[in-house]
Amino acid sequence: MEETNTGAAMPAKRPTFLTVLCILSFVGIAFSLIGGIMNYFTYSTLASAGSMLGDMSSEGGKEMGAAMNAMADVMGMDYGKMAMVALIQALLNIPILIGVLMMWKQKKTGFYVYAAFEIIQPALPLIMGLGLVGGIMATVGLIFGVVFVVLYGLNLKHMS
């Protein structure tokens, strides 16, 4: 006698390419989260160090603080803003992770969540007005983000 399966259909096997992309994304998200948190503390320290150096009573400390602040101004760097951007970008990894987990389960909604936050995340330095440094950060982040969005887009046909 032949058995028939009248229950739910077996989910389609996840393509190897999608599996590899998801694993790369999991690793990238972990590095980005850790790096963002470390950058937050680094930039916060630099922001307070610049003002501390400028407030030192010795002439050398004032000159060093002034030089550090002048260099930051020329490049459009505001360590306080950079610290905030680093923290927000680290937190934006959470919805990106949710999108990747959904794509791991072959859900199309995950692609749209991932794509939206993967484009928002690198645009943040520009939105916060970080000048030249923000432009460089945004360009590099956007290149990688767009590449991964396109690669995931190629797998949409395998998602439901």
Weakest-pLDDT range from 21-35, 67-81, 87-101: 67-81
Q: Provide the whole-model pTM.
A: 0.75
The confidence band for 1, taking pLDDT boundaries of 50, 70 and 90, is: very low
Report for 5-14, 69-78, 113-122, 126-135: range of highest mean pLDDT: 113-122
Question: How many domains does the structure of the chain reveal?
Answer: 1
- Can you give the pLDDT at residue 39? 87
The confidence band for 3, taking pLDDT boundaries of 50, 70 and 90, is: low
List of residues 6+ apart from 36 with CB closer than 8 A = 86, 87, 89, 90, 91, 93
7 in any annotated domain:
no
Domain region containing 65: 16-158
103 in any annotated domain:
yes
pLDDT at 32 over 50: yes
- Can you give the pLDDT at residue 48? 79
For residue 105, what are its two tokens?
Answer: 């389960």
126 in any annotated domain:
yes
- Can you give the pLDDT at residue 128? 78
The answer to whether the beta carbons of residues 42 and 30 sit under 8 Å apart is no
Q: What average pLDDT is seen over the chain?
A: 81
5 in any annotated domain:
no
11 in any annotated domain:
no
pLDDT at 94 over 70: yes
For a pLDDT cut of 90, what percent of the chain falls above it? 37
